[in-house]
Amino acid sequence: MAVLVVGGGVAGILAALDLARAGQPVTLAERFQHLGGQVARLDKIYPTDHCAFCPLWTDIRNCLDHPRITVLSSATIREMKKEGDRWAVRILREPPVIEERLCIFCGRCEKACGEGAVHPLLDQAYAPVYCIDAEKCTRCGRCEPLCPTKAIDLNRKTVEDRVVVREVLWATGFENGDLKPLPEFGYGTHPDILTALEFEEWTAESGANRGRIVRRSDFRVPSRIAFIQCAGARDSRMYPYCSSVCCMHALKQAEWVKRRIPDIDCTIFYTDLRAVGRDYFKYSMKDVPGDPIRLVRGRPGLVFALPGGGIAVKYEDTFKQERRIERFDLVILNGNLKPAPAPETGMGPSLLDGEGFVDTAVGFGCGFAVEPGDIMDAAVQAASASMRMIGRDKN
């Protein structure tokens, strides 16, 4: 009997492969159309400073090819009911308008669309397919007859799957939380104040700017960039925990800024510089082109747009006991990562703890859904959660 893995990011994919290779059939449900989760959207990963594409794509392909793994994409869990020692799960799938198996990526639909609603699924995803943005689509139908393989069906119906599984493994990962409860960071008040994930996408090599570092407001090259750590983390008002990955993430982004344009000054405002894993400390000490990355210990109290242009950051340099205001061209906020919602449908007593993490005393889980961590943490947890899962049932 199959087990259900919820979430097709790094954690879910690796868990599915581990289970399948040990002989356990797996149904893998992913809410987006593509596999790979957050890591697939990253431009570079630490500590390799390389794109995550190749190794991730290898495991995605292994997942899709494995005879014991059934991948359900564009799928959300609607209901889970315990029936004896198994779970009956209702999964709702919204098959994409452009069917993946039939799309040959010719792009005739994109050319025909007058609203710009058709675009490649994800630059970083490998299986190249087109998809239609439901919000922009006017359902004019111009694209449908043009598709040579008849992959487009504007009247695609949602499909409901009912599966009965032995166990459920939650690997739902993380997403950005709302920064509105923390107005001091000025998020939303100016285009040049962005979250780390937005900055990643903005400066991605395969993204809109082809790897160039420019401001969002006027597309000019910034001369000073501030990275603010623990913005929406280790904060009793919002998320009291540490998101674990942000310090290394800021170091990586700052390093790549310096690699591309050594003249840009990068400052990281931190609380504790948590570079803990293998060679992470060395990574934090790495030489970069141009001036070194400036590390300032202090959590800025105010970030606001200046009338003449630029962003002011008001902070206390705790090592100098000085309060200062400095002007930056771009401010990157690191933090505010929260576990993506794991539907609590029927798993109670509450599957999730107070912060939204999966309680492993109640259910199986791995990755950020259980505990903030990076790729390596997720990979280890995927393997160990899989082992615990098959260990439970001594069939």
Partner 1 sequence: MAKTVVLLCRCFGELDGIIALDGIADRLRAEREDTSVYLLNSLCMEEDAHRIGALLKQEGARAVCAGLCAAGSKREALWESLRNAGIERSGLFTADLREGCAWIHQGNPPGATEKAKDLLFMALAALDEKKASADVSADVHPECLVLGAGPAGLAAAVSLAGQGIPVHLVERAAQPGGMLNLISRTYPGDDHAKTRIEPLLREVETNNMIAFYPRSKVVSVRGFAGDFKIGIQGPDGTLRLRAGAVIIATGAGVLLPRGLYRYGELKQVITQMELERQWIRGVPDDKRFAFIQCAGARSPERAYCSTICCPSSLKNAMRVMEEIPGGEATIFHRDIMTPGNLLEAYYRKSMEKGVRFIRFHEEDPPEILGGDRVEAIRVRDAARGKEQVLALEKVVLSTPLVPNMDNRSLRELFQLELDSHGFFSETYPLHPLETRVDGIFIAGSARWPVSSDKAMEQGEGAAMKALGMLKRDRVSALSLSRTPGEKPGHGTVEERTCTGCGNCVSVCPFLACSLQERDGRFVSRVNKMRCKACGSCVSVCPNGTMQIPEHNYRMVGAMIRRAFP
Partner 2 sequence: MEEEKRKNRTELPKILVFACRWCGGIGAGRAGWKRLEIPASFRIIPVECAALVEPDAVFRALSSGMDGVAVLGCHVGGCRYNEANHAALKRLDLVKVLLDTTGIGGERLLLAFGTAHEDHQFAGIIRRFTDFLGKQPPLEPWTGFAKNADLRSEG
Among 29-37, 109-117, 207-215, 236-244, the segment contacting partner 1 (CB under 8 A)? 236-244
Among 20-28, 112-120, 171-179, 301-309, the segment contacting partner 1 (CB under 8 A)? 20-28
Q: Which two tokens stand for residue 306?
A: 């200046």
Q: Is 22 in the site for partner 1 (CB under 8 A)?
A: yes
Compare residues 27 and 284 and give the one whose CB is closer to partner 1. Answer: 284
Among 54-62, 75-83, 196-204, 206-214, the segment contacting partner 1 (CB under 8 A)? 54-62
* CB 92, min distance to partner 1, A: 25
End-to-end CA distance of the chain: 10
List of E strands, the chain: 3-6, 26-29, 69-72, 75-83, 86-93, 118-120, 130-132, 159-165, 168-170, 174-176, 193-195, 224-228, 265-270, 294-297, 302-305, 311-317, 322-328, 330-333, 337-339, 364-365
Restricting to residues 195-224, name those near partner 1 by CB under 8 A.
Answer: none
Please select the residue that binds partner 1; options are 81, 85, 105, 208, rule is CB under 8 A: 105
Q: H or E element: which one contains 157?
A: none
Please select the residue that binds partner 1; options are 357, 363, 364, 369, rule is CB under 8 A: 357
**Integer Cα distance of 299 and 230 in angstroms:** 8
Query: Of these partners, partner 1, partner 2, none, which one is at the site of residue 391 (CB under 5 to 8 Å by kind)?
Result: partner 1
Q: Is 371 in the site for partner 1 (CB under 8 A)?
A: yes
Inter-helix orientation angle 10-21/53-65, to 10°: 40
Compare residues 310 and 373 and give the one whose CB is closer to partner 1. Answer: 373
Compare residues 189 and 206 and give the one whose CB is closer to partner 1. Answer: 206
Q: Is 394 in the site for partner 1 (CB under 8 A)?
A: yes
* Burial call 300-335: b when 16+ CB within 10 Å, e when fewer: beebbbeeeebbbbebbeeeeeeeeebebbbbbbbb
**Integer Cα distance of 336 and 242 in angstroms:** 9
Query: Of these partners, partner 2, partner 1, none, which one is at the site of residue 88 (CB under 5 to 8 Å by kind)?
Result: none
Q: Is 62 in the site for partner 1 (CB under 8 A)?
A: yes
* CB 86, min distance to partner 2, A: 39
Q: Is 342 in the site for partner 1 (CB under 8 A)?
A: no
* CB 41, min distance to partner 2, A: 12
Handedness of CA 75, 80, 83, 87 (dihedral sign): positive
Please select the residue that binds partner 1; options are 237, 278, 287, 308, rule is CB under 8 A: 278
Assess contact for 140 and 112: CB atoms under 8 A: no
Q: Is 21 in the site for partner 1 (CB under 8 A)?
A: yes
Query: Which residues of this protein are in contact with partner 2, per CB under 8 A?
Result: 43, 48-51, 53-55, 58, 105, 107, 120, 123-124, 126, 128, 204-206, 210
Cis peptide before 349 (omega within 30 of 0): yes
Please select the residue that binds partner 1; options are 5, 10, 117, 194, rule is CB under 8 A: 10
Using CB under 8 A as the binding criterion, the count of chain residues that bind partner 1 stands at 68
Please select the residue that binds partner 1; options are 67, 84, 148, 308, rule is CB under 8 A: 148
**Integer Cα distance of 51 and 360 in angstroms:** 31
Query: Of these partners, partner 2, partner 1, none, which one is at the site of residue 43 (CB under 5 to 8 Å by kind)?
Result: partner 2
**Integer Cα distance of 8 and 152 in angstroms:** 24
Please select the residue that binds partner 1; options are 1, 58, 111, 134, rule is CB under 8 A: 58
Phi and psi of 18, rounded to 5°? -60, -45
Among 74-82, 214-222, 279-287, 300-308, the segment contacting partner 1 (CB under 8 A)? 279-287
CB burial of residue 134 (10 Å; 0-12, 13-18, 19+):
exposed
Local structure of 119: helix, strand or coil: strand
225 DSSP 8-state letter: E
Instruction: Name which of 65, 25, 63 is nearest 167 in CA terms.
Output: 25
Which residues are at the interface with partner 1 (CB under 8 A)?
Answer: 10, 14, 18, 21-23, 45, 47-48, 55-56, 58-59, 61-62, 64-65, 102, 104-106, 126-128, 148-149, 234, 240-242, 244, 272-282, 285, 297, 318-321, 355, 357, 371-376, 379-384, 386-388, 390-391, 394
